Amino acid sequence: MRAGALSALGVTLADLLRIRAAANETAKAPAKSVILLWLWGGPSHLDTFDLKPHAPVQYRGPYSPIATSVPGIEICELLPGLAKRAHQYSILRSLKCASNDHGIAGTIGLTGNIQGAASLSGQTLPGAVQPTHGSVVSKILGASSGMPRFMTLGDHLHQGKRAITGEGGAALGPMHDPFRLDYHPGKGLELPHLTLADGLTPSGIDARGRLQSRLDDLSRGLNTSPRMARFDEFYQQAFSLLTDPAARQVFDLDREPESLRRRYGKFRFGQCCLLARRLVESGARFVQVNWSAHVEPVEDGGDGGWDMHDRYFQQYQDRHAWMLDRSLSALLDDLSERGLLHETAVVAVGEFGRTPKINNKAGRDHWEHVYSGLVAGGGMAAGKVIGASDRLGEYPATAAFTPADLFATVLGQVGIDTTSLTTNNLLPQGSRIEELVA
């Protein structure tokens, strides 16, 4: 094809070479997709994947470690399902973040960079906010089978009433923002904040008939919305796909066996994990499942987040622990049974950990110095513990890994490396965790 012809199509030679290079890298990459379970608010590492049973009672908490399917690896007794599946994932026990402010740490976790982060007090840090990991995937890998490349299941992330930065495409443009969906028991599928056409407002969609009607409306609105001008051809393709009767079946959880839906848990996070599997199965490249929109659990407008400064153990035991255990276990099983786990990287992590020393409200506060994350599939090592914290779980006892390191590794598994980042004028973040890909 001549350069002139390319130009007529609105594609430059550089674009063509970039796309070709990305395609070559992707073809060689062990993973096709990423599912990020974003545990917003910050789980306690001492009560999930890095217990300290020999620490003083003021530190260790009220739970015991239990054996897992991998000899020598122990996790919390409240996660028995994940204990049975330890051979399917690895645990990072020396993650470290540069901030203990949800807003800042959240931006770091989702972009690998502190630039442009907004703190609880309203201070915005210098520098331009970087695109989030899903947006990077969207930019470099492009669409697969027409499915939106980057999808977020859940509403915008907040700390208090302040939305955090770093959830979208930033300088990459709105075409690389996540396409948002959500699911709520009793309401069904929701398209939060979707205002493509005047007069369209998000509303609960449950029955298939209502879903079809909603998407028909959406389809009609696409042709008239001025905002469409802001989307590139891939995004238009994605929306067109959503209005396609066959494609919209991807979003219909009623098509899943009831038994499987129950294995995931008939609560919001569980059903969103199931939806994430359906999305990657249909070609989505990066699906982020937000545990909650707010860091707060029940107080102050919270919606079940992990930021349990008080009543940590009560709430973790009564709600969070079994929810995480059930949903993540089901996701690992489901991906594995469908032969998708080896090509789907799964990450479960929050923005930081929690104070090893229990506070005077039977809770744990923010702790950025060391925390844990779980990584599975996507060609990454399984059945391993990588890194360690010290005796009380206060600081790394081995080399610390940053959120940027974690996602440099994960994105590397889908074929995005330093070269592809710089080729796309993106700033490489972090270093690959070799133990995770060895």
Partner 1 sequence: MKCAMRFHLTGGRGSRRAVSVSRLWDNQRLSRSFALPFVTLFAVLILAAAAPPEVVRITTDGVLKQRPSWSPDGQHVVFARHIGSTIFLYQRELTTGMEDRLTVQMHPEFDAVFAPDGKSLLFAFDKTSPGQGDIEIYHITLPERVVTPLATSPKGLSHEESPAWSPDGKRFAFTSTYQGNQDVYMANIDGGEWTRLTDDAATDAHPAWSPDGKTIAFATSRWGNFEIALVNPDGENLRRFTTATGLDDYPCWSPDGKQLAWTANRDGNLEIYTQAVSDVGEPIGEPINMTQNDALDNFPAWTPDGRLSFISDRDDGFDLYVTKKSAFSQ
Task: Enumerate binding residues for partner 1 (CB under 8 A).
Answer: 53, 56-58, 61-64, 66, 77-78, 80, 184-185, 262, 266-267, 294, 296, 298-304, 309-311, 313-314, 317-319, 322, 358, 360-363
Q: How far is the CB of 427 from partner 1 (least distance, A)?
A: 36
234 or 267: whose CB is closer to partner 1? Answer: 267
Shortest distance in whole angstroms from residue 132 CB to partner 1: 24
In sequence order, the β-bridge partners of residue 396 are 389
| Shortest distance (Å) from residue 204 CB to partner 1 | 12
Q: With contact defined as beta carbons under 8 Å apart, do 265 and 271 qualify?
A: yes
- Least distance between partner 1 and beta carbon 379 (Å): 31
Q: What Å distances lie between residue 286 and 2, 37, 347, 371, CA to CA?
A: 34, 11, 11, 24
208 burial (CB, 10 Å; 0-12 / 13-18 / 19+) is middle
Cβ-based nearer residue to partner 1, 239 or 313: 313
Is residue 76 within 8 Å of 330, Cβ to Cβ? no
**CB closer to partner 1 out of 98 and 298:** 298
The number of beta carbons lying within 10 Å of the beta carbon of residue 139 is: 25
| 63/403 Cα distance (integer angstroms) | 27
Closest CA to 408 of 376, 436, 430: 430
- Of 51 and 136, CB closest to partner 1: 51
Question: Which of 133, 354 has the CB closer to partner 1?
Answer: 354
Residue 39 CA to residue 373 CA, distance in Å, equals: 10
First to last CA, the chain: 41
Q: How far is the CB of 270 from partner 1 (least distance, A)?
A: 11
- 289/358 with CB nearer partner 1: 358
> Nearest approach, Cβ of 266 to partner 1 (angstroms)?
5
H helices present in 64-172, as ranges: 80-84, 102-111, 133-141
| Cβ(384)–Cβ(438) below 8 Å | no
Q: Which C-beta is closer to partner 1: that of 182 or that of 405?
A: 182
Distance in Å, CB of 323 to partner 1, minimum: 9
